[in-house]
Amino acid sequence: MTTKEDIYNYIEWHKNKYNCGDEPIFEIRLFEKAVSGGFNYPDIGIEDRPGFYYELDTAIHAMNQNWADIQDHAFRAGFILCHFPGLYKCATTEARMYFVWDEKKQGFYQTEEPEIFKHYSY
């Protein structure tokens, strides 16, 4: 499971590799399901990108607390994806955190990323 420390390490790696001082954004991407689709791609059903934050902790809190009712009774899982300004590079496993909807807590909570996403970049 990707930790906040992993994300921060990725940010430092990216800044050093590309010699940039830009700060990342943390995009929230939600989807209906996470099952194996054809050609080894995950089938996520419908998806939404309800927003982004400049702070990772704020993005995590928004997921946990279901801010703005982002769950909307359709979405069961999602990612927080770390992106830098410009054309987005795909967010590999070290640059994303996986969450699932917890009905009892009424929020999205981080868990281990399903195997179907392990070799897939978002």
**In the 8-state DSSP scheme, what is residue 87?**
S
Q: CB within 8 A of 45, min separation 6: which ones? A: 31, 32, 33
Residue 38 domain flag: yes
The answer to whether residue 85 is domain-embedded is: yes
Confidence of residue 122 (pLDDT cuts 50, 70, 90): low
Q: Tell me whether residue 15 is in a domain.
A: yes
76 in a structural domain: yes
Q: Is residue 122 part of a domain?
A: no
- Domain range spanning residue 57? 4-117
The tens digit of pLDDT for each residue in 16-52 reads 998 888 999 999 999 988 888 777 778 888 888 899 9
Confidence of residue 114 (pLDDT cuts 50, 70, 90): confident
Do residues 88 and 29 lie in contact, with contact meaning Cβ atoms separated by under 8 Å? no
For residue 63, is it within any domain? yes
DSSP string, 32-62: S--EE-GGG-EE--SEEEEEEESSHHHHHHH
Higher pLDDT, 122 or 13: 13
Q: Is residue 89 part of a domain?
A: yes
81 occurs within a structural domain: yes
* Buried residues in 46-63 as b, exposed as e (16+ CB within 10 A): eeeebebbeebeebbebb
Q: How many domains does the chain have?
A: 1
Note the pLDDT tens digit of each residue in 45-95.
888 889 999 999 999 999 999 988 877 778 899 999 999 987 767 778 889
